[in-house]
Chains A and B, each alone.
Chain A
Amino acid sequence: MAQVGYSKKVMEHFMNPRNVGVIENPDGYGKVGNPVCGDLMEIFIKVKDDKIDDIKFRTFGCGSAIAVSSMVTEMAKGKPLDEAMKITRKDVADELEGLPPQKMHCSNLGADALHAAIKNYWVKIGKIKPEEAKPEGEEGEACSTE
């Protein structure tokens, strides 16, 4: 049977989001999405020994956008940066026991925000050049549903 509405896991994260808030003077900061499209996420990270020591987010958006942000911070917390960079949108959706098809794109920007925050940190420490920290492909797109 096709799933009706959001999974229990999505609702659980939506109702009790983890790691909400702001980190003052973060080591890395990433912001993706666009309020015009109905979704905007920002992620703050603190790095220690090349691992994500602390992570916080704030999100404007629908239920899945908030659940995705919460989930990606939970998945990334404590992980080495290289590993956290490998977390994909699909990983986040799978961990949430799936997202409705029309939400897979627009409301699934958590991994992109995380990657943006990590790259922002890498630029700061000189590991990559600023031009390499450009937002990932789909971020710049209009509010498409594909």
Chain B
Amino acid sequence: MVPFLKEQFTQAGKFSMFIGRFFKEIVLPPFQFNEFIRQCFAIGYKSLPLVSITGFIMGLVLTIQSRPTMTKFGAESWLPSMVSLSLIREIAPVVTALICAGKIASGIGAELGSMKVTSQIDAMEVSAINPYKYLVVTRILAATLMVPILVIFADVVGVFGGYIGYNVHGTIGLQRYFSEVIEHLDFLDLLPATIKTFFFGFFIGTIGCYKGFNASGGTASVGLAANSAVVTASLSIFIVDMLAVQITDLFF
């Protein structure tokens, strides 16, 4: 039990130092702007199809599944606002972040893990290029900025999916549907939900980089790093979400 706890505290300490180094390196020049843009493209743009499909299905399914209950209570007209609120406040941020944990954290973990075990990171180090700044800072920053954008995109596509879902059994015009949605949306529905997505992105990027950067022991560790990155990032999303809900509840 004692060695297990010791190992857990050691890992927690190392992870904290890894995060601390990010905040130190991010303010020190040189800035790897080109690599940052490349990572934004890889993390953001290349995730759009996956996020679009997921967002659309979330809205569509949520509407179709909620409709019978809402009809039973005579609240069918509340369906657009109920679906959009559920999507924007909770479902779209968490599900999109989980999708990103699967795609981005595993991708970063595997890529950096592979670079680590094939000495590519060491090659950067001996070439006097700071691999942490070039590989880690750019990826964490890109994930932190791109995940919120992907979530907002998933929100919009999800609401549209809800419109399609509504029209499976009923009829409503696009303009009226969106009017219903916007009418019941408050600024305070959007703000906390958006703020927490920055934390989701930060942890997805950080955990992916940490697992990859610390891979050791050959090719098996690359798979392990990718797998561990997904599991830890997914868990961290739920923990951050729980904390965000508590904080939102406290202040708003």
Chains A and B belong together in one complex: no
**Interface residues, chain B, with chain A CB atoms under 8 Å away:** none
**Interface residues, chain A, with chain B CB atoms under 8 Å away:** none
